[in-house]
Structure 1
């Protein structure tokens, strides 16, 4: 492990055994508010576009365009956060989100929805900047715990936003958008007034040697120089490709095939599912992640994640009643909640502390590549009503990730693995 990642003195070593909640609480609240804002849009977006005459393929193209803009912007924003600080980049991205939500609320055609989502993608550095902030203010022994806290914030926001959206959707499909705008404005206020504008490197990486390379250009090629990182990136892409194909068109699939208490599946029901997803995410972060991290090796935990997800995907494809669909959501939400902190923390500990922003941005950009392709590909498949082929592709890609992890990743002792959480 690089010397740049080690605590620089005995005090830092002692501090590395626990997180400073005074630093983590504001970023947890920011992530929760931003997730609630995004979560308020997700249940209504497919139906909002459908009301404007859009097909499943158009929905996929809108989501793909958003991901493409995120792919272009994420590494650049990550590097800016390394150079100028996490707080400034968060504020800039939140301002962009406010403008995009305003444009979405006023949209009267698919073109304006497309423009709004592209703008959101260009400024969507929120989680990568927040994850870099968490890495700045955590050590190797608390890294997975720090990322897990942010993931719990995503889960909490994932409960609040869809629940609010499901309630407001009865008023109009634009009411949740205005609520999302208010949540995003509150997040920006918290960032400006509460978040500490810490130096790059945080508590565990502020030495002169580390700071000498801040601002140095870091490319995808240098990021992938390590064999372990290459395998982790491949595994991460398998996860996000399969989950992207599934989640981007789930609403369309259920609207076409599922009956909820004798009526068609709609935005309110999707809000229920997303609320349950958020609740499961929070519970997994609080009660399950740390225990599993201490029980399984990193490789074993990744294989377990893909196994749980595959069971959930198959069950969702076969669901004919609410109980079966609920079991599918339980499996998928648990797998996703375990996946994010596991992958992000594993990547984080293999790069120098002062480059956390660029590696988080580059990773977000790689994930955006999958988000460009998966909604369109899934939209084409579901546009032909090939539901079995859609689920089969999702499961096959997830199982490929499990095989890659099982064959190519070293088996790390559980006690060592637990140090991350």
Structure 2
């Protein structure tokens, strides 16, 4: 089981690398193919991110249910193959509309995060779930370390170079997966595929019928909307506020990824042991609120770089919440649960880029009444506080 375990972690890492590779060059790429100002590029960046997320939102439950019925292996391998082809298309795209089409296909292939999480649920004992979900987060963090740093360096060779690298990584992992990935869905935990349950609303209805899941889904949604402020506006915010180059932006995202990987891959185990899953969520909320408040008004780029590892200390929230919900769901519905969580996260990725980039553009455009590039972080702070209140009021039974 060791090689399949590593393959799943690598798949999640490559998903993050693919996103991180292109983040440092997206402002320049959008200006290159579309023209206009940085504020205009931020709006288009929000549209591209929203298209990506909309597909995750629609297809997360579908792929989760497919993996419950037909297995984790075929869903992961087919998605990796299509992902590699999608990056090739984006590498040669000459218009904003082809980039948009690429993000639509990419969003469908990236919906397999639910399948990776379901695999972790399959192979984990109840007391191991938070830590193993944390390993998925750590793999994502490692991808965020490598992706932006490599993307920033490759950006020196042109805005298309990172896409070719992303295609190569996805293609190589597909080949490896064909040889090492084994199946964890058996007759004991297989559930027939039904479009009624695979549809977005059918999957949500099935999950919300489980006691106490609904408020936790709201918490997960509000947290995801808040935390997505980083990828939504970070490249634009740091360029506007601190004058950072793509290389520095890539470095900063890499530092955050290192911090997140350290927290979710290592620190989460003692944190869960000391505080429990509920306490870990509360602890994470506190760190995120403080981080947003500091970044909203910070004007020194050096201090911002120093604060980035501290902001990553709140990264325990997602795996702890996943573990709490996973323990409440039968084994045959793990893929369905993870599909719903992927859809909830994707919905936040629809809402957050549009809202956060619009707020950023409003507070940075020429002639604005109040100049504040960090305004999106204040919006995220308010949403984070609301999510923490819902969580504190929810009835949660954890080990």
State the TM-score, normalizing by the size of structure 1.
Answer: 0.85
In 1, Cα distance between equivalents of 2:393 and 2:249: 37
- In the alignment, what sits opposite 2:31? 50
1:294-348, CA deviations, whole angstroms, 9 ceiling, x for partnerless residues? 1113322211111101111122222222342124322332213x12211222221
1:324 alignment partner, one of 297, 303, 306: 303
Q: Does 1:169 align with 2:155?
A: yes
- Between the aligned partners of 2:106 and 2:291, the Cα distance in structure 1 is 30
- Which of 204, 224, 228 lines up with 2:212 in the alignment? 228
Shift of 1:266: 2.5
> 1:373-418: CA deviations, max 9, x gaps?
1111112211112535422211000111111112224475xxx3xx
Query: What residue number does 1:39 align with?
Result: 20
Q: How has the CA–CA distance of structure 1 residues 257 and 145 changed in structure 2, closer, same or farther, with 3 Å as cutoff?
A: same
Distance 1:30 1:391, change over 3 A: closer
Residue 351 (str. 1) matches residue 332 (str. 2): no
- The TM-score normalised by the length of structure 2 is 0.90
In the alignment, is residue 291 of structure 1 matched against residue 277 of structure 2? no
Note the residue ranges of structure 1 that are not aligned, 5 or more in a row: 1-19, 201-205, 259-263, 417-421
Q: Distance in 2 between the 1:366 and 1:251 partners? A: 24
Question: Is 1:312 matched with 2:301?
Answer: no
Q: CA shift at 1:120, angstroms?
A: 0.5
Alignment of 1:196-215 (within 5 A): 196-200=182-186, 207=188, 210-211=189-190, 213-215=191-193
Q: Report the equivalent of 2:170.
A: 184
Report matched runs for 1:12-411 at 5 Å: 21-52=2-33, 53=35, 54-200=40-186, 207=188, 210-211=189-190, 213-215=191-193, 217=197, 219-258=203-242, 264-336=243-315, 338-385=316-363, 386-387=372-373, 389-410=375-396
Over aligned residue pairs, what C-alpha RMSD do you find? 1.9
The whole-number CA distance in structure 1 between the counterparts of 2:115 and 2:396 is 29
Q: Is the 8 A contact 1:162 1:271 kept in 2?
A: yes
Instruction: Please give the secondary structure, in 1, of the residue aligned with 2:240.
Output: helix
CA offset at residue 181 of structure 1?
0.9
- Does the 8 Å CA contact 2:360/2:374 hold for their aligned counterparts? no
Contact 1:162–1:275 (CA<8 Å) still a contact in 2? yes
**Larger deviation: 83-92 or 291-300?**
291-300
Q: Is the 8 A contact 1:101 1:181 kept in 2?
A: yes
- Distance in 1, matches of 2:113 and 2:104, equals 17
How far did residue 22 of structure 1 move? 4.8
Matches of 1:322 and 1:389 in 2, distance apart?
Answer: 17
Q: How many residues align?
A: 380
SS class of match (1:123): helix
Q: Is the 8 A contact 1:34 1:183 kept in 2?
A: no
For the 8 Å contact 1:47–1:267, the answer to whether it is kept is no
**Secondary structure at 2:212's aligned position in 1?**
helix
Structure 2: give runs of 5+ residues left out of the alignment: 364-371
Q: Is the 8 A contact 1:299 1:409 kept in 2?
A: no
Distance 1:266 1:100 in 2: 27
Q: Distance in 2 between matches of 1:253 and 1:409?
A: 38
Inter-partner Cα distance in structure 2 for 1:369 and 1:281: 22
**Counterpart secondary structure, 1:239:** helix
Q: CA deviation at 1:141?
A: 1.7
Which stretch of the first structure deviates more once superposed, 393-402 or 294-303?
A: 294-303
Q: 1:322 to 1:382 in 2, by over 3 A?
A: closer
Moved over 6 A (4+): none
Q: State how far apart, in whole Å, the 2-side matches of 1:244 and 1:302 are.
A: 17
Distance in 1, matches of 2:303 and 2:212, equals 38
